[in-house]
Amino acid sequence: MSENTRFGPAGVPPTFRLIGAKLSDVPRLLQEEGLDAFEYQAVRWGAKPQIKQAEAEKLGESAGKNDVKLSMHGSYFINLSGKKEVVEASKERLIAAATAADWMGAYVMVFHPGFYGKVEKDFAFKNCVNALKEISLEIKNRGLKVKLGPETMGRKFQVGSIDEIIAINQQVEGTQLVIDWGHLHARNLGGFRKVEDMRVIAEKVEKELGIDALRSMHCHFSAIEFTSQGEKRHRTLDEKRYGPDFSLLAQLIVEFGLHPTIICETPILDIDAKKMKEILKETYTIKQEERKTLSVK
């Protein structure tokens, strides 16, 4: 049910850093705020994990004690559709992130798949899929349990349309559906203006991947400023001139009975994550009241 949706920040909130919190303190502090998800940021990593195994395991233990679901965002320096040497370096970075994600017990390692570059989109996408199949096999051979999470992307020159991400999930073993709703909104130049716009995505996922994939999707959410080429920068929920409106996704969650993990990527991480949680709670309550009214009639 939708009330089991989890919320949390993409990275350690600034307020936690101000009080000198250690990484292992983060799950407890999030739990105290009423949040229950956390996406560790490994976005600047190279070919080796940049966290000690003991520290990663301590984070995982703390997350377990405080019922906080862990995910990881892998390196930004990934292009699985580039030249051979770029692809090989990207593989090493993803394996490094997957290794550390497994140490901490993260269930998915999210990443940006790559760029079209000067080649045809279909060719770039095919190269990306082939590289991911090799990475998936290597992760399996190493006994790592974390899933790969190629993410929908916000710029038109990036691999990561909803159709491409669905196709990757169909073709590559050990992948997790990751939808960044702000990215899709920006990629389509303001595509989510009403709940029906988001419903199209949900119905497509349900048709192609099944209801279980839709119900358990991993989500990123932020208001997004965009240009003619797509995403420009992340904005807060209170900046109403930028979309999408989280209430649209809340309605979709309630309508389909979803229970996704939603990671807040606005500039005010935990603050907006709590706002999202409250919006969903209000939406769920309104829907219950509507059902009661209909049953009386």
* pLDDT, the chain, mean: 95
CA distance 170 to 126: 13
Kindly tell me if the per-residue pLDDT of 296 is higher than 90. Answer: no
Residue % of the chain over a pLDDT of 90: 91
pLDDT the model gives residue 290: 78
Provide the domain count of the chain: 1
pLDDT the model gives residue 289: 80
Mean pLDDT for the stretch of residues 40-45:
96
pLDDT the model gives residue 82: 86
Mean pLDDT for the stretch of residues 59-69:
98
Q: Output the CA angle 131-153-142, nearest 5 degrees.
A: 35
pLDDT per residue as tens digits for the range 109-160: 999 999 998 888 999 999 999 999 999 999 999 999 999 999 999 999 999 9
User: 246: which DSSP letter?
Assistant: H
DSSP output for 257-273: T---EEEE-SSSHHHHH
Burial class (CB within 10 angstroms; exposed 0-12, middle 13-18, buried 19+) of 232? middle
* Amino acid in the structure at residue 286: I
CA distance 141 to 205: 29
pLDDT the model gives residue 2: 52
Mean pLDDT for the stretch of residues 43-61:
96
Mean pLDDT for the stretch of residues 35-62:
96
Alpha carbon dihedral 169, 172, 174, 178, in 10-degree steps, equals -30
pLDDT the model gives residue 3: 59
Mean pLDDT for the stretch of residues 62-72:
98
Q: How many CB atoms lie within 10 A of CB 240?
A: 10
Mean pLDDT for the stretch of residues 280-287:
92
Residues found in the chain: 297
CATH classification of the domain holding 199: 3.20.20.150
pLDDT the model gives residue 184: 97
pLDDT the model gives residue 247: 97
pLDDT the model gives residue 1: 40
Domain that holds residue 61: 2-296
